[in-house]
């Protein structure tokens, strides 16, 4: 793997490939020089790779078809490709395309050299408020964009946030994401995502909307500052019970401003949770992020977003 090309690629190739990229759908494994494994997920392995014709470095997520036979997994992959492939925002991991052969489906992803926020948090135990605020601002920007395009992510957690070479956070893994025409009249009911991040209305099997992502942002905010999610318990039912019933208790070392934003985000009633615009204008965010509400605002979609995706029965 020719990592010496990395800097060059970072500067020019991304923009080049986004505007003049070859049709990645017609590529195959032989178009890439595949390097070492950089990660292993539940259903596939992720390898560093160089596109032979452009020298562009990407991450290839390789999924084995026989492991995808289960219907739900195929549906998740379809969502990832259709939704993530059409999003274009500095805080969302770019999905350039995909290809398949007899045995594998391969997703061509933007490479995030610093790995997941989860791994960084495990190394540091918890973050200082400035760093946490900067990360929360970037997640809020990605969610603002996603929600403006009528998409709910539904699996927001530190494992699904990747970090690029400049330390920019990238929202990834749109396997549970779904399109909702009208958030005020959403019929979403499926319980999906990861236990510690599930919103009360979802675990109570009530119809829910984009506010489940706002709840998950509150959980992450707490976790970045304290080191563990606020309702963590041993076992499924005790955790569910705490999510629904317990008020969040925040250690004394957390500042008044950070405490305020956590409480705002972790409102049990979704109607009382703030919009992403309100989050970006909160004093704890403004304190550490210059121009937090206008930065990175409203980049265009790569293509027109697919408005006919209908997963409303999920």
For the bound state, the minimum distance from the C-beta of residue 9 to ligand AMP, rounded and expressed in Å, comes to 14
Give the integer Cα–Cα distance in Å for 30 and 250: 52
Q: Give, as ranges, the residues between 150 and 179 that touch ligand AMP (CB under 6 A).
A: 162, 173
Minimum Å gap between C-beta 294 and ligand AMP is: 28
Q: Does 214 bind ligand AMP (CB under 6 A)?
A: no
The verdict on 90 binding ligand AMP (CB under 6 A) reads no
CB of 173 to ligand AMP, least distance (A): 6
d(CA 4, CA 156): 33
Q: Which stretch binds ligand AMP (CB under 6 A): 38-46, 95-103, 193-201, 248-256?
A: 38-46
Select the residue interacting with ligand AMP from 59, 81, 83, 264 (CB under 6 A): 59
Which residue's CB comes closest to ligand AMP?
39
Strand partners, 178: 152
Q: Does residue 112 bind ligand AMP (CB under 6 A)? A: yes
> With the C-alpha atoms ordered 52, 54, 57, 59, is the resulting torsion angle positive or negative?
negative
Q: Is 50 in the site for ligand AMP (CB under 6 A)?
A: no
Residue of the chain from 116, 178, 186, 289 that contacts ligand AMP (CB under 6 A) = 116
130 is in an annotated binding site: no
- Chain residues binding ligand AMP by CB under 6 A are 38-41, 44, 46, 59, 61, 93, 109-112, 115-116, 162, 173
């Amino acid at each position: 793997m020719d990592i010496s090309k990395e800097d060059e690629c970072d500067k020019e190739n991304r923009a080049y490939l986004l505007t003049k990229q070859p049709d990645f759908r017609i590529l195959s494994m032989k178009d890439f020089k595949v390097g070492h494994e950089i990660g292993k997920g539940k259903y596939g392995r992720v390898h560093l790779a160089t596109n032979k014709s452009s020298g562009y470095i990407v991450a290839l997520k390789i999924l084995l078809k026989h492991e995808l036979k289960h219907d739900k997994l195929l549906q998740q992959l379809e969502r990832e490709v259709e939704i993530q492939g059409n999003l274009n925002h500095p805080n969302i991991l770019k999905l350039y395309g995909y290809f398949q052969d007899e045995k594998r489906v391969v997703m061509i992803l933007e490479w995030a050299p610093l790995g997941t926020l989860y791994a960084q948090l495990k190394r540091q135990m918890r973050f200082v408020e400035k760093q946490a605020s900067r990360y929360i601002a970037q997640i809020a920007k990605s969610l603002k964009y996603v929600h403006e395009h009528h998409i709910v992510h539904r699996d927001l957690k530190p494992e699904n946030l990747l970090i690029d070479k400049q330390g920019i956070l990238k929202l990834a893994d749109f396997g549970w994401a779904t399109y909702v025409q009208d958030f005020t009249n959403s019929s979403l009911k499926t319980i999906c995502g990861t236990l510690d991040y599930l919103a009360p209305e979802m675990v109570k099997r009530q119809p829910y909307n984009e506010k489940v992502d706002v709840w998950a942002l509150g959980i992450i905010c707490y976790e970045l500052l304290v080191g563990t999610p606020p309702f963590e318990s041993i076992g499924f039912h005790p955790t569910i019970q705490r999510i629904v019933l317990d008020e969040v208790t925040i250690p004394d070392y957390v500042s008044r401003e950070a405490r305020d934003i956590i409480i705002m985000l972790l409102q049990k009633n979704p109607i009382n949770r703030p919009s992403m615009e309100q989050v970006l204008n909160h004093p704890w965010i403004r304190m550490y992020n210059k121009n937090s509400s206008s930065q990175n605002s409203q980049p265009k979609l790569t293509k027109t977003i697919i408005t006919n995706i209908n997963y409303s029965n999920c």
